[in-house]
Amino acid sequence: MRSLPYFCRGLVIRGFGRGSKDLGIPTANFQESVVDSLPADLNTGIYYGWGCVGNGAVHKMVMSIGWNPYYKNTKKSMETHLIHKFKEDFYGQMLSVVLVGYIRPERGFSSLDELITAIRSDIEEAQRNLDLPEHLKLKEDNFFRASLSTTSNQIMNGH
């Protein structure tokens, strides 16, 4: 895909609350402006890459971009699952991600169990792929260091 790697950052907003509740797989939702600025040639589906919250550590992640056919969403969303156990929610914080690879298109599922199985499989594939040297190097990208302090300051000063 031409648009990869794709770097973006934005505030984490409250989603539908289904990731944690229904699936046991918490996700962070980007604000609409981040979703609206996705490149036109970036297909909907499941991606993997790296992400970090605020100035925190960089973690492996999977992201769903699209309408979540299982839930029949009417708005396109970007839902990031950082493969890390966080002690608390991080609504209102800055999330920085780089999408490095594509796993599969989004599709409908006949049951919640089937959806959960697919997500777990996506997470396993992401973890394997991100250990490849060409993907590991993006974990160290200056994107996660350089502009974070300036971005955080702009957000803080804006409030």
The residues annotated with a catalytic role in the active site are: 79
Closest CA to 42 of 97, 1, 103: 1
CA atoms within 13 A on the CB side of 146: 4
Check if the beta carbon of residue 139 is closer than 8 Å to that of residue 131. no
Q: Which three-class secondary structure state does DSSP give residue 157?
A: helix
Q: Kindly list the distances between the CA atom of residue 90 and the CA atoms of 48, 76, 129, in Å, as whole numbers in the listed order.
A: 20, 21, 26
* Close Cβ partners of 91 (under 8 Å, ≥ 6 residues apart): 12, 13, 14
